[in-house]
Amino acid sequence: QLPLPPQINEVDVLDSISPLKDVDCFHPENVGLMMQGRPRFLPCTPHGCQELLIDSGTIVAGAHAVVLGRSEIVGKPMAALLVQKGAGANATVTIAHSRTQNLAEITRQADILVAAIGKPEFVTADMVKPGAVVIDVGINRVGDKLVGDVDFEAVSQVASAITPVPGGVGPMTIAMLIKNTLRAAEIQTGTSS
């Protein structure tokens, strides 16, 4: 489970995991295969987000997707999945981050906005294009409650669809982890299709 305690070298740990058992898709070999469009496993949270887009009937092909965040866990792999060929993909993708200038101007162009920056309720209604689909990956504790990276109440008045926090992306991440674990077992036992 990432992040690891600061005294543990994350790169060394991830590199030591067998790529055939790397159900989180963090090993460099699996990241490379994903980037080439021939994944062994897909990263759980981005894949869960992609499945939400597919299952909701969101047209991703040709859409402008903006991913807020450039982490190795969500931001970068989410952008990579959205730009690939295939279902829930073929988007034009912009990655925005803490150094992006004119951020609201960029997010207002998004047909699909994925927020994964770790800042509570950072995305406000004025940052969202009317009718956009908003996926809130963030999970932040504020007082005694959990909130996402998106101001849910305000943005839900502008967006055509939005994921809640909690209960939106989290369950999809778990489902994709189970899917990858079953795939890893098939690979290990030689029963993969």
Is residue 1 pLDDT above 80, yes or no? no
Closest CA to 113 of 21, 30, 49: 49
Among 90, 86, 92, which Cα is nearest to 38's? 86
Q: Cα(30)–Cα(87) distance, rounded to whole angstroms?
A: 20
User: What is the structure's pLDDT at 29?
Assistant: 97
Kindly indicate the confidence band of residue 142, based on its pLDDT and cuts at 50, 70 and 90: very high
The predicted structure's pLDDT at residue 3: 84
pLDDT digits (tens, 9 = 90+) for 58-72: 999 999 999 999 999
SS (H, E, C) the chain: CCCCCCCCCHHHHHHHCCCCCCCCCCCHHHHHHHHCCCCCCCCHHHHHHHHHHHHCCCCCCCCEEEEECCCCCCHHHHHHHHHCCCCCCCCEEEEECCCCCCHHHHHCCCCEEEECCCCCCCECHHHCCCCCEEEECCCEEECCEEECCECHHHHCCCCCEECCCCCCHHHHHHHHHHHHHHHHHHHHHCCCC
- Per-residue pLDDT of 174-185, as tens digits, reads 999 999 999 999
User: What is the pLDDT at residue 193?
Assistant: 64
Average pLDDT over residues 134-139: 98
Does the domain at 10-189 match CATH 3.30.160.20? Answer given as no
Q: Give the CA radius of gyration of the chain.
A: 17
Phi, psi angles (nearest 5°) of residue 136: -100, 105
What pLDDT is attached to residue 37? Answer: 94
Q: How far from chain centre, in Å, is Cα 57?
A: 18
What pLDDT does residue 72 have? Answer: 94
For position 167, what pLDDT does the model report? Answer: 97
Q: What is the CB-side half-sphere exposure of residue 2 using CA atoms within 13 A? A: 14
Whole-model pTM?
0.95
